[in-house]
Structure 1
Amino acid sequence: MNEPFRDPGLPLAARVADLRDRLTPEEKVGLPHQYQAPVPRLGVEGFRTGTEALHGLA
Protein backbone atom coordinates (compact mmCIF):
# COMPACT_ATOMS: atom_id res chain seq x y z
CA MET A 1 0.00 0.00 0.00
CA ASN A 2 1.32 3.45 -0.78
CA GLU A 3 -0.93 5.68 1.30
CA PRO A 4 1.12 8.50 2.86
CA PHE A 5 -0.35 7.81 6.33
CA ARG A 6 1.46 4.45 6.29
CA ASP A 7 4.89 5.87 5.40
CA PRO A 8 7.05 6.11 8.55
CA GLY A 9 9.55 8.22 6.58
CA LEU A 10 7.11 11.13 6.36
CA PRO A 11 6.66 13.71 9.13
CA LEU A 12 3.97 12.73 11.62
CA ALA A 13 1.89 15.83 10.83
CA ALA A 14 1.75 14.84 7.15
CA ARG A 15 0.74 11.29 8.01
CA VAL A 16 -2.01 12.45 10.38
CA ALA A 17 -3.33 14.97 7.85
CA ASP A 18 -3.46 12.32 5.14
CA LEU A 19 -5.37 9.88 7.34
CA ARG A 20 -7.71 12.62 8.59
CA ASP A 21 -8.53 13.61 5.02
CA ARG A 22 -9.36 10.01 4.10
CA LEU A 23 -11.85 9.50 6.95
CA THR A 24 -15.53 10.10 6.35
CA PRO A 25 -17.44 12.48 8.64
CA GLU A 26 -19.09 9.46 10.28
CA GLU A 27 -15.71 7.88 11.01
CA LYS A 28 -14.39 11.15 12.48
CA VAL A 29 -17.38 11.47 14.84
CA GLY A 30 -16.35 8.28 16.63
CA LEU A 31 -12.78 9.39 17.32
CA PRO A 32 -13.25 11.18 20.68
CA HIS A 33 -14.04 7.87 22.41
CA GLN A 34 -11.78 5.38 24.23
CA TYR A 35 -12.53 2.51 21.89
CA GLN A 36 -12.02 3.30 18.22
CA ALA A 37 -13.93 1.31 15.64
CA PRO A 38 -11.92 -0.30 12.85
CA VAL A 39 -11.90 1.30 9.41
CA PRO A 40 -11.60 -1.79 7.18
CA ARG A 41 -11.58 0.16 3.90
CA LEU A 42 -8.30 1.82 5.01
CA GLY A 43 -6.88 -1.26 6.71
CA VAL A 44 -7.03 0.43 10.13
CA GLU A 45 -7.79 -1.94 13.00
CA GLY A 46 -9.82 -0.97 16.04
CA PHE A 47 -7.81 0.34 18.97
CA ARG A 48 -8.10 1.76 22.48
CA THR A 49 -6.60 5.14 23.32
CA GLY A 50 -7.04 4.87 27.08
CA THR A 51 -8.65 8.29 27.28
CA GLU A 52 -12.10 9.62 26.67
CA ALA A 53 -11.89 13.09 25.16
CA LEU A 54 -15.55 13.93 25.57
CA HIS A 55 -15.24 14.03 29.37
CA GLY A 56 -11.47 14.15 29.89
CA LEU A 57 -11.51 10.82 31.72
CA ALA A 58 -9.84 7.47 31.34
Structure 2
Amino acid sequence: MNIHWLLRLTHWVRHPPSPRRMALIAGVVALCLLLVSIERFVGWPEALSVTPVGRGAGLR
Protein backbone atom coordinates (compact mmCIF):
# COMPACT_ATOMS: atom_id res chain seq x y z
CA MET A 1 0.00 0.00 0.00
CA ASN A 2 1.51 3.31 -1.00
CA ILE A 3 1.28 6.71 0.68
CA HIS A 4 -1.58 7.86 -1.56
CA TRP A 5 -3.94 5.21 -0.21
CA LEU A 6 -2.89 5.90 3.38
CA LEU A 7 -3.67 9.58 2.91
CA ARG A 8 -7.03 8.71 1.39
CA LEU A 9 -7.85 6.45 4.34
CA THR A 10 -6.94 9.18 6.83
CA HIS A 11 -9.22 11.57 4.95
CA TRP A 12 -12.07 9.05 5.24
CA VAL A 13 -11.45 8.70 8.98
CA ARG A 14 -11.42 12.45 9.55
CA HIS A 15 -14.32 13.20 7.19
CA PRO A 16 -16.54 10.13 6.97
CA PRO A 17 -18.75 9.81 3.89
CA SER A 18 -22.47 10.42 4.02
CA PRO A 19 -24.82 7.55 4.87
CA ARG A 20 -26.07 7.56 1.28
CA ARG A 21 -22.55 7.03 -0.07
CA MET A 22 -21.90 4.29 2.49
CA ALA A 23 -25.11 2.58 1.35
CA LEU A 24 -23.91 2.82 -2.26
CA ILE A 25 -20.54 1.30 -1.36
CA ALA A 26 -22.22 -1.47 0.64
CA GLY A 27 -24.57 -2.16 -2.30
CA VAL A 28 -21.69 -2.46 -4.76
CA VAL A 29 -19.80 -4.80 -2.43
CA ALA A 30 -22.95 -6.89 -1.90
CA LEU A 31 -23.52 -7.10 -5.67
CA CYS A 32 -19.93 -8.24 -6.21
CA LEU A 33 -20.25 -10.88 -3.51
CA LEU A 34 -23.53 -12.07 -5.03
CA LEU A 35 -21.96 -12.43 -8.47
CA VAL A 36 -18.97 -14.30 -7.05
CA SER A 37 -21.21 -16.68 -5.12
CA ILE A 38 -23.41 -17.35 -8.15
CA GLU A 39 -20.34 -18.03 -10.27
CA ARG A 40 -18.86 -20.28 -7.56
CA PHE A 41 -21.97 -22.41 -6.91
CA VAL A 42 -23.79 -22.38 -10.27
CA GLY A 43 -20.88 -22.01 -12.67
CA TRP A 44 -19.95 -19.69 -15.48
CA PRO A 45 -21.99 -19.88 -18.71
CA GLU A 46 -20.07 -21.20 -21.68
CA ALA A 47 -21.35 -18.33 -23.83
CA LEU A 48 -19.56 -15.81 -21.61
CA SER A 49 -16.22 -17.59 -21.48
CA VAL A 50 -13.15 -16.01 -23.02
CA THR A 51 -11.64 -19.11 -24.55
CA PRO A 52 -12.75 -19.69 -28.14
CA VAL A 53 -14.83 -22.82 -28.67
CA GLY A 54 -16.09 -24.22 -31.94
CA ARG A 55 -15.49 -22.79 -35.38
CA GLY A 56 -12.27 -20.79 -35.66
CA ALA A 57 -10.86 -22.03 -32.36
CA GLY A 58 -7.70 -23.33 -34.03
CA LEU A 59 -6.84 -20.01 -35.64
CA ARG A 60 -5.61 -18.41 -32.43
Same fold, judged at TM 0.5 (above): no
Q: Max radius of gyration: which structure?
A: 2
The structure that is strand-richer by fraction is 1
The structure with the greater share of residues assigned to helix is 2
| TM norm structure 2 | 0.30
Q: Which has the higher relative contact order, 1 or 2, with Cα contacts under 8 A spaced 6 or more apart? A: 1
